[in-house]
Every structure is written in C-alpha cells, then in structure tokens.
C-alpha cells in the first residue's frame, strides 16, 4: 500500500498492475479511477496537452501512422502495433511494476525502504528534477515539428512520429508525478511545461540543447543519437531514485527510449552508407561533387556530429557540482547502474580527478567524488557514444576508405562546466581565440552547410522509396517489409 504523501494526498500507485486499462480516458496502470481528484486534475490537463500537440506537435497532416502503443508493462509483449490517427494516440501513465521489497541503494538513506511518498525535506529538489526532465520531452517534439515535410521515406516518417508520440507520453509521465505528488505547485508546473517553448526568447526551454533548432533530418538523427542518449543516462540515474514512483516511471520510459536511439544510430549509419557508396562509385571525396551527386559529404556529417555531441555534453551539467552531490546523498538521483557498483554507495571518502584548464593548459585536480558525479555519468555516456561512431566507421573501413568520423574532445565547443571559458579544438588542444575564429567554420556547421543539406531533403512519400542521401534500412518495423505503407498522409499532407 502507498502511504499518503505529506501534502495529505494519497498517491495513486498501489502495486503491480501489468495490464494497462484502456477503458479509461487516460490509459494507466496506476489505478487512476481510484483517485478522483487526481483523475480530474489530469483530465483537465489533457485538453491543454492536445491543444499543444495540435499547435506545436508534428505539422504534416496525416490520416494514420503505424505506431507502437504500450499495452502492458510486464517483461513480455508490452507493445501493440497498428495504424492509428496520431491525435488519437493513447498517451497514458505507465509505471514499471512495483517491487514491494525495494530498498534505497545509495546515499544517507541507504538500506531504508524506498519512498512511496515525497519526503518534505526533499520536495523542492525532487520537483526540480522532475520538472527539468519533463521540460525536455515536449521541447524535442517542438524542435522536430516541421521535419515531416522533408521525410526521406515513409519508414523514416513513421519513426519520427513514433519518437514524437513517445516523447509526448514521457511528458505525461512527468505530469502525472507532478500532479499526483506535488499538490497545487505540481499542477502549476505541469501547466508551465506546455507554456515554455523551444527557442522562445521570452519563455525558452530550461536546458540549452532543447532550444536549438532541428533544421533537417541529419540533425534529427544526430539528436536521437546524442541527445536522446543523454536522456537514457539521466533516466538511468532517476531509475535508481529512492522516490519509488519516479524510479518506476523512468524504468518504463527507458524501454521506449531504446527505439529512439536505434533511430539515431541506424539513421546516421544509413547516411554514411550512401555517402560511402558514392565516394567509391565516383572515386572522390570532393564535397561539391558529392553534394551534386545527392549525398552528404563526410566533412558535413562530422560538423553536425561535433555540434550535437557538444551541446549534449552540456546537458550533464558541471564537472564539479554541489547540486549533484546533494541529489546523491539525499537518494534522489543515483549513478548509472548504481546497484552493480562495488563500493559503499555513499562515497564520502572517495575522490576523483577532474580535468580543468588553467593558464592555457589542461590540469588535473582531485575533487570529492560526490561533487564529480555529473562527470561520472558523462564518462559512461561518452563511452557509449563511441560505440556508434565505431559502427559508422565500419562502413568506411569495409569500403577501404581512409577517412574516419570521430568524437571531438570533451572540451570542444562547451557552454557549461570547466571548459566553457576556454577555446578547445576538436583534437583536444587549448587554443587562442584567433585560432578558434580561423577554424570554427571547418568544425561546426555553417549556414551554407545547413542550406546544402536542406537542399537534399526532398520528401519521399511512396512506400519503399528513399531519398538519394540515405540508404534503406535492412529491415522494417515490427517484421513489416521496408516498403510497407507505414504512414497514410491526409490529402493536405500529400500536397504539402
């Protein structure tokens, strides 16, 4: 049984309810019907969400899309695939099953039972973490709003929309927590999540990367590779949270997140595959010739990679952060795979080296481990990012080409943390402003690069057809053929 929280409200989750109740207006496995007040609050938020979706969600008019919908949270068979009109997608509230024996794995409350209610002393911090997480979800949908107009295929269009509806559901997940556990303030925060907008000068999204434009599909693939991967790691730390409803929510979100990163990994890989084919066929690496031949030159792919990787690195916060130390000690946010770590899970005596820039040189400083936990997480992320790059380079290696893509140095183009006041080249040299200015055009996408990429982005809406700049995938979605009619456009969409 869940204990009432300190706002006096009874939180909804009552235990494992593996099957999701689709008879409800808001599908859920948290027994929403048993909490009328919460149900009313969510039902009054629902039309605002739908208005937001209509105004700032996918712009391309569609009849229906072959989408995955969560139907259960158990280990097997959690998803159902079918053509559904997007505005009738069953966004809902799904938590992973509860482990009634779960105890807190780290921090000063280690060993105590996981919390089913919000402890008053951590209310503000928990609400902040949930709000930041919630803010990113609709932001990404806003960023990707216009991409449908230039989709390279129906397969890719469907993947874009799948990512969009699931980010919408992740917003629901955070709104549920805010409304169920944080009273009036939580309801107000839930409203704000729809009012801040990506790139809005007066009311921007909270974190930097979520105010950048997603200009084209190459950037979308880089976003789902690098930025969604930050999502994976941040959700992985919140999945360890002592606050059990947050942990269970994030655990289920991570299931959906895997497909988003698949879209990024395979998307970039298919771009590289096409470029490599043309490089071999035409025996050239010349950018202008390759663009003329309808593919994206590797230098441009590298610039997009440099950009998205560096803004995503900023999402981990500072290398030295008292915030993260406090979150960890309180039990709000753990480490990646906390329970598999072989240490005392309190870390008071531990230290680690952090790289800083001093007088134009990299220096190492030893800091308490607790304050370096953003870096601990970022290191896991960097190692994971490198795997995809290796996979992309395999295309080049297989074709016998000498060029390689690479992750720029962790200090390159940073706005947050210890590198943010220095100029650092992609190959990891501290340089002066003049050298930065002289070279930045070859490191980050120029307007001209984005324009050249955009010029290639012509929509392909015939089943099985693909744009020149991207190879078809090896297999379709859910065992359907690649040439399946994944999306039925509305009449207006066809002429868009």
For binding to ligand BYC (CB under 6 A), which residues are involved? 129, 132-133, 136-137, 140, 167, 207-208, 227-228, 230-231, 234, 314-318, 321, 323-324, 333, 374, 416
Concatenated DSSP letters of 290-354? HHHTTS--HHHHHHHHHHHHHHHHGGG--SS-HHHHHHHHHTSS--TTGGG--S-SS-TT-EEEE
Whether the CB-CB separation of 319 and 375 falls below 8 Å is answered with yes
Q: How far is the CB of 174 from ligand BYC (least distance, A)?
A: 10
DSSP state of 19: B
Q: How far is the CB of 385 from ligand BYC (least distance, A)?
A: 14
Nearer to ligand BYC, 244 or 319 (CB): 319
Whether the CB-CB separation of 217 and 152 falls below 8 Å is answered with yes
Nearer to ligand BYC, 169 or 460 (CB): 169
Q: How far is the CB of 169 from ligand BYC (least distance, A)?
A: 11
Burial of 169 (0-12, 13-18, 19+ CB in 10 A): buried
Q: How far is the CB of 275 from ligand BYC (least distance, A)?
A: 25
Neighbouring residues of 427: CB distance < 8 A, sequence distance ≥ 6? 408, 409
Helices 373-398, 298-313: crossing angle, 10 deg rounding: 170
Residue whose C-alpha is closest to residue 136's, from 163, 96, 97, 157: 163
Nearer to ligand BYC, 156 or 256 (CB): 256
Nearer to ligand BYC, 241 or 275 (CB): 241
CA 346 → CA 328, 330, 336, 491, distances in Å? 8, 10, 14, 59
Q: How far is the CB of 433 from ligand BYC (least distance, A)?
A: 23
Bridge partners (DSSP) listed for residue 286: none
Q: How far is the CB of 315 from ligand BYC (least distance, A)?
A: 5
Please report where in the chains the tokens 């070279």 appear, as a residue: 439
Q: How far is the CB of 414 from ligand BYC (least distance, A)?
A: 10
Q: How far is the CB of 252 from ligand BYC (least distance, A)?
A: 14
Mark 263-274 as b/e (b = at least 16 C-beta within 10 Å). bbbbbbbbbbbb
Q: How far is the CB of 53 from ligand BYC (least distance, A)?
A: 15
How many CB atoms sit inside 10 A of residue 473's CB? 19
Nearer to ligand BYC, 233 or 362 (CB): 233
Nearer to ligand BYC, 203 or 495 (CB): 203
Nearer to ligand BYC, 216 or 230 (CB): 230
Nearer to ligand BYC, 93 or 207 (CB): 207
**What is the Cα 304 distance to its own chain's centre?**
17
Minimal CB distance residue for ligand BYC: 317
Please report where in the chains the tokens 């107009």 appear, as a residue: 149
Nearer to ligand BYC, 228 or 338 (CB): 228
Nearer to ligand BYC, 154 or 235 (CB): 235
Residue whose C-alpha is closest to residue 260's, from 218, 295, 225, 215: 225
Q: How far is the CB of 435 from ligand BYC (least distance, A)?
A: 26
CA distance 369 to 353: 9
């Amino acid at each position: 049984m869940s204990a009432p929280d300190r706002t006096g409200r009874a939180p909804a989750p009552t235990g494992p309810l593996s099957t999701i109740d689709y008879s409800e207006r808001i599908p859920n496995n948290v027994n929403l019907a048993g909490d009328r007040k919460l149900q009313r609050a969510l039902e009054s938020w629902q039309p605002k969400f739908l208005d937001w979706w209509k105004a700032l969600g996918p712009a391309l008019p569609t009849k229906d899309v072959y989408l995955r919908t969560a139907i259960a949270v158990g280990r097997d068979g959690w998803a159902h695939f079918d053509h559904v009109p997007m505005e009738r997608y069953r966004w809902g509230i799904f938590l992973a099953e509860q482990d009634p024996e779960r105890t807190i794995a780290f921090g000063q409350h280690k060993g105590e039972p996981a919390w089913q209610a919000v402890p008053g002393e951590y209310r503000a911090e928990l609400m902040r973490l949930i709000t930041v997480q919630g803010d990113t979800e609709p932001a990404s949908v806003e960023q990707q709003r216009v991409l449908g107009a230039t989709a390279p295929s129906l397969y890719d269009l469907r993947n874009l929309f799948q990512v969009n509806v699931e980010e919408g559901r992740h917003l629901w997940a955070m709104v549920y927590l805010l409304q169920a556990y944080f009273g009036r303030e939580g309801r107000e925060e839930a409203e704000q999540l729809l009012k801040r907008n990506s790139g809005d000068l007066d009311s921007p999204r909270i974190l930097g990367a979520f105010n950048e434009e997603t200009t084209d599909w190459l950037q979308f693939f880089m976003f789902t590779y690098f930025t969604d991967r930050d999502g994976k790691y941040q959700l992985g730390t919140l999945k360890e949270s002592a606050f059990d409803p947050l942990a269970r929510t994030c655990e289920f979100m991570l299931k959906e997140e895997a497909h988003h990163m698949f879209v990024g990994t395979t998307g970039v890989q298919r771009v590289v595959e096409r470029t490599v084919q043309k490089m071999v066929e035409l025996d050239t690496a010349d950018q202008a010739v390759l663009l003329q031949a309808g593919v994206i030159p590797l230098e441009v792919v590298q610039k997009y990679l440099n950009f998205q990787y560096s803004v995503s690195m900023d999402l981990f916060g500072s290398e030295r952060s008292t915030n993260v130390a406090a979150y960890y000690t309180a039990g709000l946010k753990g480490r990646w795979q906390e329970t598999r770590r072989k240490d005392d899970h309190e870390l008071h005596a531990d230290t680690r080296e952090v790289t800083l820039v001093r007088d134009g040189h990299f220096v190492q400083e030893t800091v308490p481990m607790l304050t370096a936990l953003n870096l601990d997480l970022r290191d896991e992320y960097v190692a994971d990012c490198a795997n995809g790059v290796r996979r992309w380079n395999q295309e080049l290696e297989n074709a016998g080409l000498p060029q390689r893509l690479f992750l720029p140095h962790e200090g390159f183009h940073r706005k947050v943390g210890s590198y943010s006041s220095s100029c650092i080249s992609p190959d990891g040299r501290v340089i002066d402003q003049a050298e930065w200015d002289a070279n930045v055009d070859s490191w980050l996408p120029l307007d001209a690069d984005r324009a050249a990429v955009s010029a290639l982005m012509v929509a392909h809406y015939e089943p099985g057809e693909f744009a020149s700049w991207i190879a078809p995938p090896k297999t379709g979605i859910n065992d359907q053929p690649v040439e399946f009619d994944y999306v039925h456009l509305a009449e207006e969409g066809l002429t868009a």
